Structure 1
Amino acid sequence: MLLGLAPMAWSEQQGEARPEGESGVAQALARQVASEAPRLQDFYAQRDYRPAWQEADTVAAFTSALHGLESDGLHPQDYRPDELRSRYRAIQEDGANAAAQAQYDLFATRMLLTALTHLQRGKVDPEALETDWEVPVAEPDFSLGTVSRAVDRQRFEALFDEVRPDFVPYERLRSGLARYRHIERLGGWPRLPAREQSLRPGDVDDDVALLRERLSVMGELELMAVNTNAFPDAEIEAPDARRYDAGLEAAVKRFQRRHLLEPDGIVGRQTREALNVPVERRIDQIRLNMERARWLLHGLPDAFVLVDIAGYRLSYFRPDGEVWRSRIVVGRPYRRTPSLRSEITHMTVNPTWTIPPTILRQDVLPAVRRDLGYLWRERIQVLSPSGQPLDPWRVDWDNPGNIVLRQAPGPQNALGQLAIRFPNDHMVYLHDTPAQGLFSREQRAFSSGCIRVENIRELARLLFEDTNSEHDIEARIASGETRNVSLANRMPVIIHYWTVNPDDDGEFSFRPDIYERDDALLRELDRPLVL
């Protein structure tokens, strides 16, 4: 029986006589699915148009599994669990004809395929949200045959597990989301009152007790047990929860490091603001970064370079399973480093630097107009558009025309002594830098879009080694010659923006939203789905 209904011989509810039963619904499905999306058509074609949602238990198992998508930061109501149940009951009660039953079947399958797509590839279209997005849009790659069998066996939770991003950080985000929601249910954490004066080690203050409680909620610090019964001797004093002691200082420094703040142990304005971000906001941050993970963390190769823009960190996942990490400098908020996915093809040793038009207009020309000696100090050559050298004294610097400025190679070149290249429309790359002191900063958005890498020579050596490329990078640099050196095999590179990162120990690092992208993504993620 279909949907719990006894088959009827004929029905005229749609204005025409028609056979009832499963074969009638199959015929109706074959007609109606022709106007649906190709994946929906393929799903039913594989089933010979056999309906998928005949049993009440199947609908119940599906709607129950949909509620579990909350653990992925998605809104279960986007996939209409209440409507799925109510329409199913209505069909049973009203004795609906084959056309109506087919409509319901298509509706339920559409909800399932939509949920699977969002779980695997994300709900929000990144191309519509980020103007500098340069990542190929990947279609969902789950098997429709697997989906069909899961429906018949009512194994929806296992199906969801199969399509989730199979990457350790994603699972850590899921676990962290559950943890922070548990804290929310318990009432969150206390808020430190606004004040001008900083809290410092050695202070005794009521705010210190609040600070201690705030850090204890997240496990940064064990709550100080103050129990007078534990101190029967009057000469022994209980610990003072109001005193900013060494243990609390260490906890504050851990918190500051996890939030990319200067780890000085002083609770000033920035640290206080980070402490006072409510747990609800942290939950939203986790959710939207899970969405970012769904955009990119699929089809990953065994080895790849991952650039974390907001975390100022590069991770090279080597073929042997080792992970090499380094600090990076990324683009300023008004010269953003783009999100992209590409492949490293070659390196430039002792690169020259042709100054890009924006930097030329906004930075270099004003400096040259103030002092023409800037060109000699920075070893910058003035060229015509065809590459012919020009005399700087003969250039009208107030209206220089289509000149080209190129910095000579060497240790003081803006690209340092090495650049790692990969095709992209934004002309960004990884490179060395003479400004090594910037790597010691906690927040490092100082570049003009490209990525400066600390210890880039070591990264280059590993890339050559892992791609079977025979090159001595140190000898190449020592030669002083500008040369391109190809990798024998390309190495995938992913550059992306995460404002939450789960560390190896399971703790979360919450980063400043330097490009102010979080709010726009959250609005789209929370926007009710219209189908």
Structure 2
Amino acid sequence: MSGFKKASRRQFLKGAGAFGAMLAGTAHAGAQDSLIEILRSPRRGNWDDQFDAVGTRAPAVRTRQPILSPATVSYVEQAIADYRGIVVRGGWPRIDLTEQLRVGSSSPAVRQLRQRLAVSGDLSHNAGDSPVYDTFLDAAVKRFQERHGVPADGIIGEVTLAALNVSAETRLGQLETNLVRLQSMSGFLGDRYVMVNIPAAEIEAVENGRVAQNHKAIVGKVDRQTPILNSQIHEVILNPYWTAPKSIIEKDIIPVVREDPTYLARNSIRLFDPQGNEVPPEIVDWTTDEALRLRFRQDPGKINAMSSTKINFHNPHAVYMHDTPERSLFGQLLRFESSGCVRVHNVRELTIWLLRDTPGWSRNQIEAVVAGGENTEVPLTVAVPVYFVYVSAWSTGDRVVHFRDDIYGLDGVDELQLTSTTTL
């Protein structure tokens, strides 16, 4: 997607509402500081908070229903009908946030928020019209955040506010766009398969029509996008060597080596010519493009770019799935940090699941080989299909509708590129 142009900061603010103007009009600097603090606050929170009363609980957001299934298609068709009704009835109100909201706060914005969340089904219509931010509303905000891929802390920060203010009409269009994608993937995909949903930065391991495992993922940056593809996982490599792609050599490694000649040695990266002969870094002219003719290979180990595991499948993009030594990245709100490959959270569990039908590869054997540090290629006895898809809106039933930001701009609406235009 080389033609994709990243939206400007001004476009983001337009999509999120005239937020800067609201701040400029605030009377007191202290109030401004409080508001800015809450908008920039961490997004982590408790995912298990529930409504106070059983009668007001909405259907669960998380289910074992795979995103790629004929049932999902029918659920999205129902969601489209529901959202058309919402649009016909005038949509939902915008949230004009002028102050920090927390449990116990009283503000006119609370009523706007109640109306907004009631229309989208996150808040029961029986929850009342109080101007007080109570625990019912706090739970509804958390549910909305979970449906939109934001850690559910109940805080209306910049990303949550922007998502709240995406119009019902735009959300309807997003569902219609993604229905076509889901219909194209609604056939039989295999008794067991792996699905990587790029805009959600999540992975499903599916077995017999149910999600057996969920994993967070780190996928490609906007300028180094993870491709859409279908293939079959045929091999797992434990303690892999990492061969740097030419793009990384050119854009990342060579500039660093020019500044720090010890970089390659410190990172256990060795150079090889086209005939497979090792080349000492000292004899390479780093002021030219000579290094681009060489292969950069990193030895197995804890600092290896793929850490303990590489999951291979044939594809024309030379991408794969793998472990990472930078596990803290999985805790980020935005997990679009790779150069196109997919990093897998808790990769060991996925590896065990993939090798289940391959004799001799129990959990204990896998753990022992990884601990030993020796490069080991393990062919799967039965290949497992893998699908990299771009689904930014879907439903898993019970009228629970999920939306994600259109990080690569493939939905074609600037208003949906919320998190690709801001630094959090």
* TM-score in terms of structure 2 length: 0.76
Aligned to 2:79: 176
Aligned to 2:191: 302
- Structure 1 pair 480–269 and aligned structure 2 pair: CA distance change class (3 A): closer
Q: Is residue 222 of structure 1 aligned with residue 124 of structure 2?
A: yes
8 Å CA contact 1:201–1:265 kept in 2: the answer is no
Residue in structure 2 matching 1:424, options 315, 321, 330: 315
Structure with bigger strand share is 2
Structure 2 portions without partners, runs of 5+: 5-67, 414-424
- Structure 1 pair 321–189 and aligned structure 2 pair: CA distance change class (3 A): closer
Aligned to 2:111: 209
8 Å CA contact 2:69–2:185 kept in 1: the answer is no
Q: Is residue 189 of structure 1 aligned with residue 99 of structure 2?
A: no
**Equivalents in 2 of 1:297, 1:448: separation in Å?**
29
- 1:341-356 superposed matches below 5 A: 341-356=230-245
Aligned to 1:134: none
Amino acid at match of 2:111: A
Aligned to 1:459: 350
- 1:321-470 superposed matches below 5 A: 321=210, 323-401=212-290, 402-465=293-356, 467-470=357-360
Amino acid at match of 1:245: D
- 1:242-257 superposed matches below 5 A: 242-257=131-146
Aligned to 2:407: 514
**Equivalents in 1 of 2:353, 2:177: separation in Å?**
33
Report SS of the residue matched to 1:250.
helix
**Equivalents in 1 of 2:212, 2:372: separation in Å?**
30
Q: Is residue 494 of structure 1 aligned with residue 383 of structure 2?
A: no
Aligned to 1:12: none
Report SS of the residue matched to 1:413.
coil
**Equivalents in 2 of 1:255, 1:208: separation in Å?**
15
- Structure 1 pair 291–321 and aligned structure 2 pair: CA distance change class (3 A): closer
Q: CA deviation at 1:399?
A: 1.3
**Equivalents in 2 of 1:319, 1:462: separation in Å?**
14
**Equivalents in 1 of 2:385, 2:164: separation in Å?**
37
- 1:67-82 superposed matches below 5 A: none
**Equivalents in 2 of 1:218, 1:469: separation in Å?**
49
Percent of residue pairs bearing the same amino acid type: 38
Bigger drift between 199-208 and 330-339 goes to 199-208
- Structure 1 pair 377–177 and aligned structure 2 pair: CA distance change class (3 A): same
Q: CA deviation at 1:225?
A: 6.1
Q: CA deviation at 1:181?
A: 1.5
Q: CA deviation at 1:362?
A: 0.8
Q: CA deviation at 1:173?
A: 0.7
**Equivalents in 2 of 1:315, 1:303: separation in Å?**
10
- Structure 1 pair 439–166 and aligned structure 2 pair: CA distance change class (3 A): closer
Report SS of the residue matched to 1:489.
strand
**Equivalents in 1 of 2:151, 2:189: separation in Å?**
34
8 Å CA contact 1:464–1:470 kept in 2: the answer is no
Q: CA deviation at 1:200?
A: 4.0
Bigger drift between 437-446 and 507-516 goes to 437-446
8 Å CA contact 1:192–1:272 kept in 2: the answer is yes
Q: CA deviation at 1:166?
A: 6.2
**Equivalents in 2 of 1:395, 1:243: separation in Å?**
68
- Structure 1 pair 322–516 and aligned structure 2 pair: CA distance change class (3 A): closer
Question: Would you say how many aligned residue pairs link Structure 1 and Structure 2?
Answer: 345
8 Å CA contact 1:197–1:268 kept in 2: the answer is no
8 Å CA contact 1:350–1:482 kept in 2: the answer is yes
- Structure 1 pair 322–196 and aligned structure 2 pair: CA distance change class (3 A): closer
Q: CA deviation at 1:377?
A: 2.5
**Equivalents in 2 of 1:315, 1:166: separation in Å?**
12
Q: CA deviation at 1:191?
A: 1.2
- 1:226-305 superposed matches below 5 A: 241-305=130-194
Amino acid at match of 2:344: V
Tell me how large the CA RMSD over aligned residues is: 2.4
**Equivalents in 2 of 1:349, 1:225: separation in Å?**
53
- Structure 1 pair 225–336 and aligned structure 2 pair: CA distance change class (3 A): closer
**Equivalents in 1 of 2:197, 2:320: separation in Å?**
14
Q: CA deviation at 1:428?
A: 0.9
Report SS of the residue matched to 1:518.
coil
8 Å CA contact 1:261–1:443 kept in 2: the answer is no
Structure 1 portions without partners, runs of 5+: 1-126, 131-164, 227-239, 521-531
Structure with bigger helix share is 1
**Equivalents in 2 of 1:340, 1:454: separation in Å?**
20
**Equivalents in 2 of 1:479, 1:275: separation in Å?**
50
